[in-house]
Structure 1
Amino acid sequence: MVRPGDSLSAVFGGSWSVIAQLNGIRAPYVIYPGQRLATGHGGGGGRTVTVQRGDTLSGIAARLGIPQSRLHGYRSGNPNRIYAGEILTY
């Protein structure tokens, strides 16, 4: 649950973009005290993969044997633009 003064980046660190996406938060700096946030750790598998230089979303999905649509957490919001070091969930 969000407490006064919390921010996604302070609470969740590098995975704040994943939390924003899971909760449909468009402006990640706007969260409210008392708000409950899904973290992806309940029932969804909660697996992660770190994007390496030269990776593509379709390539990662193929390597993992999953549909590309199961990969979440790329900060651009564009599946054709992912960055090395991003942590994606599936």
Structure 2
Amino acid sequence: MTRQKNPDETTLLIKLPPELKASFQGLCKFRDVSVSAELRRFMADEVSKTATGMTTADKPKKPSHARLDTVRTVKAVSSRKSFKD
């Protein structure tokens, strides 16, 4: 099944060390959130923090995909988990 393209979305291609990618993927899996969703949340949070103190005309528009419910319940575990598990 092919996903239909949304004209309001774009793709960001970044290069990073394989260890960082694997660690972040493990962290996202542990938090039960997709890598893409976590990166979108991080970017929206950074834009919001930076926009504090700007005038209304200067503030960037909040993306439609930015969620207000960014807090997720973390799975309870009895021992520490490695992010690479």
TM range (shorter): under 0.3
TM-score with structure 2 length normalisation? 0.25
Q: Give 1 or 2 for the bigger CA radius of gyration.
A: 2
TM-score with structure 1 length normalisation? 0.24
More strand as a share of residues: 1
More helix as a share of residues: 2
